[in-house]
Structure 1
Amino acid sequence: MSQQLTKAQVAEHKDEANGIYIIIDDGVYDVAKFLDDHPGGAKILKRVAGKDATKQFWKYHSKQVMEKYGPKLKIGTLKEEAKL
């Protein structure tokens, strides 16, 4: 279940058919099944699909939100990539 993904792999998942992946901190989350339940609407999640949404997430959510929904949506972690 838990896998390591690169930023490029996360970027490939931007639609419901392939999964809508977002990065928060070093976690990778598939929010495709959460679109209808997101209080802010699906549009916001689709806007950050395939991207690092850390800044946006923590601007509007508390640690309790991550504790409640994170384990259900987390599919892996962000793989460290060599910096050139």
Structure 2
Amino acid sequence: MSYSTIRYSLADVAKCNGKNGVRTWIVIHDNIYDVTDYMQQHPGGPELIDEYAGKDATSEFDEFGHSSDATKMLKKYLIGELEDEDKRVNRIKKRAANGIKMKGEDKQKRRPFLRLICGKCTC
């Protein structure tokens, strides 16, 4: 993405949920896509996209195993990216959803294991 990319917050994305004539935006890998004009063409039907309208759909997009063609097609609908703070918040939420804790005591407990793997590092 270039330095001139428009940045939006998760709150901005949430407002674009496709309801009441509003456009439909989704987030995939911290990029924001306006998929309003694509929904009727989606092979799985518009309902699948509608379920994630105004939300981060990264996990679902990846889990389904979309083709490289689908990933390339997304570029056509790219309108911006998440603000840096919301990217950070998203990463924390994804780690928590996957059972990965990264704060305080849990991080300290992990360090001896990492030292075994990487040698003398300051992880």
1:20 counterpart = 2:24: yes
Structure 1 runs, 4 residues or longer, greater than 3 Å off:
none
Partners in 1 of 2:22 and 2:79 — Cα distance? 13
The DSSP-based 3-state class of the residue aligned with 2:37 is: helix
Of structures 1 and 2, the one scoring higher in RCO (CA 8 A, sep 6+) is 1
Larger relative helix fraction: 2
Deviations 1:42-69 (A, max 9, x none): 00111000100000011121333111x1
Q: Report how many aligned residue pairs link the two structures.
A: 83
Aligned CA RMSD, in angstroms, stands at 2.1
Q: Which residue of the partner structure matches residue 102 of structure 2?
A: none
Q: Which residue of the partner structure matches residue 49 of structure 2?
A: 45
In structure 2, stretches of 5+ residues that fail to align are 90-123
> Normalising by the residue count of structure 1, what TM-score does the alignment of the two structures yield?
0.87
Partners in 2 of 1:14 and 1:41 — Cα distance? 16
AA aligned to 2:71 is M
In structure 1, stretches of 5+ residues that fail to align are none
Partners in 2 of 1:48 and 1:2 — Cα distance? 23
Larger relative strand fraction: 1
AA aligned to 1:49 is A
- Displacement of 1:72 in angstroms is 0.7
Q: Which is greater in Rg?
A: 2
AA aligned to 1:66 is T
The DSSP-based 3-state class of the residue aligned with 2:85 is: coil
Partners in 1 of 2:76 and 2:11 — Cα distance? 23
1:75 counterpart = 2:82: no
